[in-house]
Amino acid sequence: MSSIRPVNIALIGAGRIGSFHAESVARRLVDANLVAIADPASGAAEALASKLDAPKSFTDVAAVLADPDVEAVIIATPARFHSSIAVQAAEAGKAVFCEKPMALTLEDANRVIAATKSAKVPLQIGFNRRWDQSFAEGRAAIDEGKVGTPQLLRSLTRDPGPYGGSPEKTPLWTIFYETLIHDFDTLLWLNPGARPVEVTAIADALIRPDFKDKGFHDTAVVTIRFDNGSIAVAEANFSASYGYDIRGEVFGSDGMITMGDVRRSSMTLFDKNGVSNDTWRRDTDHFVHGYTAQLASFVNAVRGAALVGPTGEDARAALAIALACIKSVSENRTVSLSGF
Ligand SMILES: NC(=O)c1ccc[n+]([C@@H]2O[C@H](COP(=O)([O-])OP(=O)(O)OC[C@H]3O[C@@H](n4cnc5c(N)ncnc54)[C@H](O)[C@@H]3O)[C@@H](O)[C@H]2O)c1
């Protein structure tokens, strides 16, 4: 008999990634129970609860936060609701796992950090790349001094194509708030101790130029200067024809590490056309282990272990870069991070 006490978790927001996280809690974690799901969309929580055998479903988020059986919540709503729900959850005494971005303004980020500190509940953010084996080993190599002092860093997100999104329904600046925010966290995490000082961003609508005049961006490049002299480049595009391509690179005084591989596995086909590999097509396939490991770590923190995952302060730091990018694109200039 296991002596591990399962942690009772509720999902708030039963959409694409929330459903996947709920499945992780219910089916992939051995020490957590999925006890409730909340989503205001008619039938969404009920259908997912039925599929995953969760005992309760709600259309009212306040009801799930008032439930004494719930110890922790996973917030996977659209980004604009994250900070207010995180604050309410902390005030209700629930541990908080919040999808990125934690907030859309620094003031709201500060509120989430203050509320979780005041309630003494763990707060972990869904920067899942840190849990991918390749990226985790990269950070370990940096900690062991294997590349020396970082000088050039690179992080990229190329979502799988063909692009099937709806530009008219995509909130403005999504490419910075929701896509490149992963890269900003990755670059900060791979450059431990360094502070970003300056950001220059350019963005365009190359996939859907017909939406450019409405402020839609599907392609962006960002340079970040750090106070240790290093320079980082982050780039994103919403439609990589060949798959879901996530990579990182750190070049330092003593060497270089590269992380990430669009190839699904080492299975290589040799045939009349040559040599080929299949590629990742979905985040939930590529990062299934990382997504699960981040929740396993969160569960440990809820049970009292030290939080090792990305914190509210980490989310705030990545958000500051996203906000500086928005200013940089809007004003067509380099932006200092000193005011953020
Ligand atoms: N870490 C990652 O790799 C990753 C991947 C995908 C999405 N995300 C993030 O997760 C969040 C959700 O993305 P998604 O693609 O699953 O969105 P989605 O639109 O598929 O799902 C959002 C769900 O939240 C529900 N919802 C709306 N308002 C709500 C409210 N006030 N309270 C509770 N539920 C509410 C909607 O009905 C919907 O079911 C976004 O912030 C996104 O950036 C992160």
In the prediction, which pLDDT does 2 show? 56
DSSP single-letter state for residue 171: P
The reply to whether 141 and 244 lie within a common domain is: yes
Instruction: Give the tens place of pLDDT for each residue, 42-79.
Output: 999 999 999 999 999 999 999 999 999 999 999 999 99
Is 71 in the same domain as 134?
A: no
Query: Which CATH number do you get for residue 86?
Result: 3.40.50.720
What integer best gives the mean pLDDT of the chain? 97
Contact 149, 251 (CB under 8 A): no
Kindly state the tokens that stand for 273: 């056309």
pLDDT of residue 4: 78
Q: Going by CA atoms, what residue is nearest to atom 7 of ligand 1?
A: 17
Segment (H or E) for 303: none
In tens, the pLDDT along 202-211 reads 999 999 999 9
Residues 324, 176 share a domain = yes
Tell me, using a 6 A CB cutoff, whether residue 61 lines ligand 1: yes
User: How far does residue 5's CA lie from ligand 1's centre (Å)?
Assistant: 29
Whether 307 maps to a domain, the answer reads: no
Q: Which domain holds residue 137?
A: 130-286+317-339
Decide whether any atom of ligand 1 lies within 6 Å of the 99 Cβ.
yes
Query: In a 10 Å sphere around its CB, with 0-12 CB exposed, 13-18 middle and 19+ buried, how is residue 163 labelled?
Result: middle
Residues 222 and 325 in one domain: yes
Residues 153, 107 share a domain: no
Task: Write out the DSSP string of 51-75.
Answer: HHT-SEEES-HHHHHT-TT--EEEE
Q: Is the CB of 152 under 6 A from ligand 1?
A: no
pLDDT, tens digit (0-9, with 9 covering 90-100), for 224-280:
999 999 999 999 999 999 999 999 999 999 999 999 999 999 999 999 999 999 999
Domain boundary among 72, 103, 121: 121
Is position 197 within any domain? yes
Residue 76: CB within 6 Å of ligand 1? yes
